[in-house]
Structure 1
Amino acid sequence: MKQLFTVLILLIICANSTIAQERSGKISGSIKDESGKTLEGATVTLNRSPDGALVKVTIATKQGSFEFDKLADGNYLIAVSVAGFSAFKSEPVKLSEQRSLELPAFVIKKGDKSLAEVTVTGKRPLIENKIDRTVINVEAAPTNAGASALEVLEKSPGISVNNDGVISLKGKQGVIVMMDGKPTYLSATDLANVLRNLPASALDQIEIMPNPPARFDASGNSGVINIKTKKSRADGFNGSVTTGGTISYYKRGNSYLAPLRSTTSVNLNYRKGKLNLFGNYNYNYREGRSDMTMERKFYEKNGTLNSISNSNTEFNGLNNNHTVKLGLDFYADKKNVFGIVLNGFGFWGFPKPVSTQTISAPDGSVESVLKSITTNNLTFFNYSSNLNYKHTFDSTGRELTVDFDYIGYSNKSETVLRTDVYDGAGNNTGRLMLRGDIPGVINIYSVKSDYVHPLKKEMRFEAGFKTSFVKNDNEVDYSRDLNGAWVKDSRSNHFVYKENINAAYAQINKKWKKWSAQLGLRLENTVAEGHQVTNDSTFRRDYTNLFPTTFINYEANKNHTITLSYGRRIERPNYQDLNPFTWFLDSLTFRIGNPYILPQFAHNVELRHSFKGQFTTTINYTVTNDVIAQILKQNTEQRITFLTIDNVAEFRNIGIAINA
């Protein structure tokens, strides 16, 4: 790794050594009225073309002249604003091999209104297809008015959201969702709750990356969605408060149920001078009612049917959670910005599944009936902090960003499982009691830095690194009621998992005529250690992988654009799947973790055609090795069913999507 970081630093130094040559361009000109008189004091704005991004602003001299120096190659627009005259905007001008460009005098016409300033603006399209992502401009769709962030996502191309709020991208779950370039570090359910309470009016753009570039972590085969929120630029205080609730009526048996859901959200922002303060608070209350019916058949090794188990489970419960976010941005000067963001999330849940299982012989006669009630008391806390710094070197877009992150999780589950056993005649033959105390703590520390350097001839170089440390400490303490005394159960366990990932990447972009390309390479080294404290067994894995990414884009004309992309991805098992613990649904159904799961690797290829930036056809092909999958297993003698996680064979997937 030391050699890799040395090479990365040398690349940045070499890129820096050429910046003086690349920024030697100059554009100059003069401003006159219709009579030929020079206009002193006019405001002259230089913007990049075609996106209109501001580059520099200057004031015309007494001779009506202006000059912009230290410019990179590229296309520019010039706008002029002066009191008593109409606004003026030039045609695009190109600065390339001609390092010094002197423009003909701009002639400004008299106007009826005095203008204090001019802004080069253009209506943004709803969808922008870029070489490595699809960008949704939220305000461009009138139907987004009054919607939530989750509803906006659901209407975005390639994204689907199920009834529980789980987000999928091109049919695959496990998508990484980021907010303003920062990972959310929330579960799918918790993230859905946050997005339900975030109004669409607070969103600027949504970036969809089924095949993310090298700048992003290689983890996650489903891609990345980055939600960019609006930033308040006006001085002063502003905020909003929203609240709402729903009641759903449905019938269960002979009774009617009406679970309640309510939400409250408060958003505040204060900006003054160099300081920007922001914060929000969300509260969610949710009552849950659901049913699950299962039929399981148990067979002997010779294929003979042994028994049949039919179960019906009613899930009743409620949960409430609080989310808090506080942040500060300090604009030290035009080139340096410091920031801090604090997040907190608290969850309290009380699910209470009630199940009835009937075990029958192959001829249908009832052998036994088990009635179980599970009482749960769940608490979960997530707290995180981010320190960030951004330095802008010049107007060309050269910048350096640094982020320090800490994320902590603390959870505890207190469970009591009571099962009454009846024989085929309905006689109670006994009661089983199991009590569980399951605490867990996860701590994550990370630091990353990204460097962006525009080069000459419409090229751009990017490089960066990231290192993260994870410690996951989980314990499960089960005890069983034996003749009125609680005795420690053999399935109790204590598991400690540590993980260190070091990564570095570099990528380069190039545009020429109708073509553009982006090549990237990311290297990730993973060191993982697991320790089962109960039996003092350990394992260690150390592996290094390369993750190339390639994007090629051809713009045939203003109506047709074709993009071909390739990327290699990794999907590491999540921390809970690695815990070798037993979680009970009822006395005969449970889930077991697997500490020996290997990561899965995928090759993703995508071909995309865009017509007028609105009608998009996509064909994607994925090959995944060592697929991580849930496996259902049975024990015929004990008549138990359990779910575990393991690596299975290769998986190939092809998909076609059309979005309009």
Structure 2
Amino acid sequence: MKKLLLLFVFLGLIQQVNAQFTLGGGAQKVTITGRISAVIIDSATKQPVDYATISLVKVKDNKSVNGGVSDAKGKVVLQNVAPEQYKLLIGFMGYKSKTILVKTTPEKPDLNLGNILLTGTESNLKEVAIVGKTPMIETKIDKLVYNAEQDVTTAGGNAGDVMRKVPMVTVDIDGNPSLRGSSAVRVLINGKPSGTMSNSVADALKMIPAEEIKSVEVITSPSAKYDAEGAGGIINIITKKKTAEGINGNASLSVGTRQNNGNFSLNAKKGRLGISSSFGGQYAIPQDTRVVLENEVFSQQSRIFQDGFSKAKRHAYNGSIGLDYDINAYNSLSTNIKYNDFSNGAKGSSNVTSSIMDTILRTYVRSSDSKSSLNNIDWSADYRKTTKKEGEEFTVSGQASFGRNTTQFNTRLINPDGSALAPDVNGDNTGKNNEYTLQTDYVYPFSKTMSLETGVKGILRDIKSKYQSSEQDFDYKQNVVAAYGVLTFKLAKLLDVKGGLRAEYTDISGVSGSSLNFNNNYTNLFPSIIVSRTLKGNSTLKLSYNTRMQRPSLSYLNPFLNRSDPENQQQGNPNLNPEISDIVELGYSTFIKGSVINASIFYRTTTDVIESLYFPDQKLTTYANVGKNKSYGANVFATYNPLPKWTLMGNFSLNTYDLRNSQTNQSTGVFVNYSVFARSAISFKGGWNTEIFGVYNASRRTFQGTSGPMAFYGGAFKKEIMKKKATIGINVLNVFSRDLHIHNENTGADFRQNMNIYYPLRSFGVNFSYKFGKVTFSAPKKKKGISNDDLKQDEGAGGLGGGAGPKQ
């Protein structure tokens, strides 16, 4: 706690150092701001031009200060424009660029330019049906961006379905993502964590409807400003948010054979005040999942065989409301509160046969009924201060997260004559996860080519887990204090360099039942550097290095013994150490006649790798630090347009798995994991869009065994109706087979565990979406807030046993 007190003293010192950052008033002069509005029109057809790009540039120094994109009616509004003389630059594919001189004054801060006519280029005079859209994939210096809103096949799905199509990301049968072969991935929503992720990332992703996702950012080389957690990298989900004057919103409904959801959002903006809200719900139609499980112990010549079905039901709802207020040109406040509620349950039965030396000892039926729920409230508040010096920024952010989860199960063992083989097995677990975060960040640009980012942060976590048996109660506290510095500069006018160092102190204490008390604290330094060079032809070469950490989350630590399947029990391990990874990556990207090619190779070493282990003598699966993994890998992504409205896209990822346990000197040898993704999309006149895609994830190696391959494929049609205010479409997934068959196997010196899962994946769906009100985009200010990207997420059951099988 002394470290935490020092953190808050440091925060106070920073506020004193930045005393000039007053909240308006005093001696500071408050600049009056206004807005510039216009409507972009095609000069030949007199029709509005949507998605035209507008930039506002100061005349005196030629600096860009604002910008936006025209909406479906050709309208654009630029907010928070200070009195000045500007150049308004308008550009769009197939049209000649246009520049207009404009001037606003304190007496007349608002300026309506009316209709602005764009003239088509020579190649476009005869054909004006070209529509410019954001590319599906964008590559940047430190991340790859997948623009999910351009993908018509995700309608009716959830964030887990979207993740399956993101380059370099693979998703297991339960919905848990991994990045370039590592499950040590931190998933953020709008740059911030959700308390839901601390319990189960797969369940949290199922709560986010695909229609609400704008893009997914894949950050493989995070700088020191990010939390050191996420050894494999960071996945940041950006949801759709309108920055528009007036009232607007969106309503969508998806009905299908596998899952159904409805979502509604409403946004309002008047001057400096903006309010956004959303509400959604989903329901999965119960379907049978078949699980065939076989456990063998060689020394005892014993075998237990289970063959059964489970029918899972799932429903969830979520809501959020946010407020943004620009106090003046330099000060802004924002706050948001979000609520998630998720319920999952399954009923099933399995026929169980127990034998020794091929002699059947007994047969019985195991009947199970399980229920789980998860709800979470996240509240955040941010203050942002800028100055007249472009790029200078000071932010203070706070977040509080309150989570609660419950798990209940009842298991009955029934003889062939209907009598009870043993007393019923019951379990009851209630967990509370409270998390509080405070951080401050400061950015200072020394020049156009050099800037400094620095900040401090404190995280307090308090986890309590109570059981039906009080002897298993679990109380866990984790406090983290961090500070970082990142310097960005040009070297020899040729190289762009972004280097930094992060220091983190972790203090852990806890008690489990009456027999286990633990205390642990450690300090780590995490360096990072990215060096990039822009080559001829818009090509970029990048070399990066960073050190990352992965702390285990609640699902890994919780010692609750899940006995829903007495032959395959599951339990967490509170004595886990964090994973530490060092990663070196070399990347290359280029643009050739509108096509994009992005390739990278990397080398990663990870110590204290956390994985699940099966112990046959205890009939138990738990987690352990299994050893050190050395991994080489490569990724290639490319897009190509055979025709202007036909896009082909492909991605290939490969990485090796070579883990050695230093205590036993046991090694897995070198195993190659890989995944392939392919997509074809065509746009037609009249607002028609069609797409097909396929994903193949090869077998994945673990310390004890392998997780089998998975293949997903699907397609969609989409049609714009009601003057582009609405869309209607259909989508299909794995149409030629009801079930996705997954084969998992764990082996040891004296045992073999074999599982076959037949997961119902085939689906057909119809979706409808409607936009209403004004959709007038303005350039949003970049928000900075809490980003607790620091906990290893649950990898899910995925072959670990459990009669209920995987989650739907």
TM-score range, shorter chain: 0.7 to 0.9
Supply the distance in 2 between the matched residues of 1:385 and 1:142 (Cα, whole angstroms): 31
Q: Is the 8 A contact 2:194 2:378 kept in 1?
A: no
Q: Which amino acid aligns with 1:365?
A: T
SS class of match (2:616): strand
| Superposed displacement of residue 156, structure 1 | 3.3
Matched with 2:186 is 176
- Given candidates 439, 461, 464, the residue that maps to 2:452 is 461
Q: Which amino acid aligns with 1:548?
A: P
Per-residue CA distance 1:13-53 (angstroms, 9 max, x = gap): 99999xxxxxxxxxxxxxxxxxxxxxxxxx97456469979
Q: Is the 8 A contact 2:611 2:624 kept in 1?
A: yes
Measured on the aligned residues, the alpha-carbon RMSD in Å equals 3.5
Per-residue CA distance 1:470-492 (angstroms, 9 max, x = gap): 111112225xxxxxxxxxxxx95
The structure-2 alpha-carbon separation of the partners of 1:568 and 1:240, relative to structure 1 and needing over 3 Å to count, comes to: same
Per-residue CA distance 1:116-138 (angstroms, 9 max, x = gap): 7899xx98655443332223456
Is the counterpart of residue 652 in structure 1 residue 663 in structure 2?
no
Per-residue CA distance 1:500-522 (angstroms, 9 max, x = gap): 00111110111253310110111
- Given candidates 331, 336, 341, the residue that maps to 1:346 is 341
- Given candidates 280, 290, 308, the residue that maps to 1:282 is 280
After alignment, is 491-500 or 465-474 more displaced?
491-500
SS class of match (1:586): coil
SS class of match (1:577): helix
Per-residue CA distance 1:585-614 (angstroms, 9 max, x = gap): 312210122111111111111111112281
Matched with 1:438 is 429
| Superposed displacement of residue 211, structure 1 | 1.9
| Superposed displacement of residue 558, structure 1 | 2.6
TM-score normalised per structure 1: 0.76
Q: Which amino acid aligns with 2:305?
A: N
Q: Percent identical across equivalent pairs?
A: 27
- Given candidates 368, 378, 385, the residue that maps to 2:372 is 378
Is the counterpart of residue 531 in structure 1 residue 541 in structure 2?
no
Per-residue CA distance 1:453-478 (angstroms, 9 max, x = gap): 11215111101111011111112225
Is the counterpart of residue 620 in structure 1 residue 615 in structure 2?
no
- Given candidates 476, 495, 500, the residue that maps to 1:520 is 500
Matched with 1:388 is 382
- Given candidates 83, 88, 98, the residue that maps to 2:99 is 88
| Superposed displacement of residue 616, structure 1 | 0.9
Q: Which amino acid aligns with 1:291?
A: R
Show structure 1 runs of 5+ residues with no match: 18-42, 61-65, 69-77, 91-112, 248-259, 479-490
Q: Work out the number of aligned pairs and report it.
A: 551
Supply the distance in 1 between the matched residues of 2:322 and 2:201 (Cα, whole angstroms): 24
TM-score normalised per structure 2: 0.62
Per-residue CA distance 1:183-206 (angstroms, 9 max, x = gap): 233332333323334345xx2x54
Q: Which amino acid aligns with 1:272?
A: K
Is the counterpart of residue 604 in structure 1 residue 583 in structure 2?
yes
Aligned positions of 1:116-127 closer than 5 A: 127=137
Per-residue CA distance 1:345-370 (angstroms, 9 max, x = gap): 112222123222211122x2211123
| Superposed displacement of residue 371, structure 1 | 1.9
Q: Is the 8 A contact 2:288 2:312 kept in 1?
A: yes
Supply the distance in 2 between the matched residues of 1:348 and 1:114 (Cα, whole angstroms): 52
Q: Is the 8 A contact 1:147 1:199 kept in 2?
A: no
Matched with 2:260 is 262
Per-residue CA distance 1:151-204 (angstroms, 9 max, x = gap): 55443322234454333322333422222221233332333323334345xx2x
The structure-2 alpha-carbon separation of the partners of 1:434 and 1:11, relative to structure 1 and needing over 3 Å to count, comes to: closer
Q: Is the 8 A contact 2:195 2:402 kept in 1?
A: no
SS class of match (1:432): coil
Matched with 2:209 is 196
- Given candidates 351, 367, 373, the residue that maps to 2:361 is 367
Supply the distance in 2 between the matched residues of 1:555 and 1:147 (Cα, whole angstroms): 40
Q: Which amino acid aligns with 1:419?
A: L
| Superposed displacement of residue 576, structure 1 | 2.4
Q: Which amino acid aligns with 1:298?
A: V
The structure-2 alpha-carbon separation of the partners of 1:544 and 1:380, relative to structure 1 and needing over 3 Å to count, comes to: same
Supply the distance in 2 between the matched residues of 1:55 and 1:508 (Cα, whole angstroms): 31
SS class of match (1:387): strand
The structure-2 alpha-carbon separation of the partners of 1:566 and 1:114, relative to structure 1 and needing over 3 Å to count, comes to: closer
Supply the distance in 2 between the matched residues of 1:168 and 1:403 (Cα, whole angstroms): 29
The structure-2 alpha-carbon separation of the partners of 1:322 and 1:272, relative to structure 1 and needing over 3 Å to count, comes to: same
Q: Is the 8 A contact 2:162 2:210 kept in 1?
A: no
The structure-2 alpha-carbon separation of the partners of 1:441 and 1:547, relative to structure 1 and needing over 3 Å to count, comes to: same
After alignment, is 495-504 or 51-60 more displaced?
51-60
Supply the distance in 1 between the matched residues of 2:154 and 2:555 (Cα, whole angstroms): 39
The structure-2 alpha-carbon separation of the partners of 1:632 and 1:334, relative to structure 1 and needing over 3 Å to count, comes to: same
Per-residue CA distance 1:34-89 (angstroms, 9 max, x = gap): xxxxxxxxx974564699799996777xxxxx6x9xxxxxxxxx5489xxxx9537
Q: Is the 8 A contact 1:444 1:470 kept in 2?
A: yes
Per-residue CA distance 1:227-252 (angstroms, 9 max, x = gap): 334442322211121111221xxxxx
Is the counterpart of residue 296 in structure 1 residue 295 in structure 2?
yes
Greater RCO between the two (CA within 8 Å, min separation 6)? 2
Q: Is the 8 A contact 2:566 2:619 kept in 1?
A: no
SS class of match (2:338): strand
The structure-2 alpha-carbon separation of the partners of 1:323 and 1:14, relative to structure 1 and needing over 3 Å to count, comes to: closer
Q: Which amino acid aligns with 1:192?
A: L
| Superposed displacement of residue 561, structure 1 | 1.5
Q: Is the 8 A contact 2:158 2:205 kept in 1?
A: no
Q: Which amino acid aligns with 1:604?
A: I
Q: Is the 8 A contact 2:614 2:620 kept in 1?
A: yes
Q: Is the 8 A contact 2:410 2:564 kept in 1?
A: no
| Superposed displacement of residue 536, structure 1 | 5.0
The structure-2 alpha-carbon separation of the partners of 1:48 and 1:355, relative to structure 1 and needing over 3 Å to count, comes to: farther
SS class of match (1:572): strand
Per-residue CA distance 1:329-348 (angstroms, 9 max, x = gap): 12211211111111111122
SS class of match (2:613): strand
Supply the distance in 1 between the matched residues of 2:57 and 2:302 (Cα, whole angstroms): 84
- Given candidates 605, 613, 622, the residue that maps to 1:631 is 613
Show structure 2 runs of 5+ residues with no match: 21-55, 69-77, 91-96, 102-111, 119-131, 639-808
Supply the distance in 2 between the matched residues of 1:496 and 1:550 (Cα, whole angstroms): 38
Supply the distance in 1 between the matched residues of 2:494 and 2:147 (Cα, whole angstroms): 24
Supply the distance in 1 between the matched residues of 2:635 and 2:489 (Cα, whole angstroms): 28
| Superposed displacement of residue 557, structure 1 | 1.5
Per-residue CA distance 1:394-439 (angstroms, 9 max, x = gap): 25121112211111111222322211256xxx79683321222211
Q: Is the 8 A contact 1:197 1:282 kept in 2?
A: no
The structure-2 alpha-carbon separation of the partners of 1:583 and 1:191, relative to structure 1 and needing over 3 Å to count, comes to: same
- Given candidates 304, 313, 317, the residue that maps to 1:318 is 313
Supply the distance in 2 between the matched residues of 1:59 and 1:630 (Cα, whole angstroms): 62
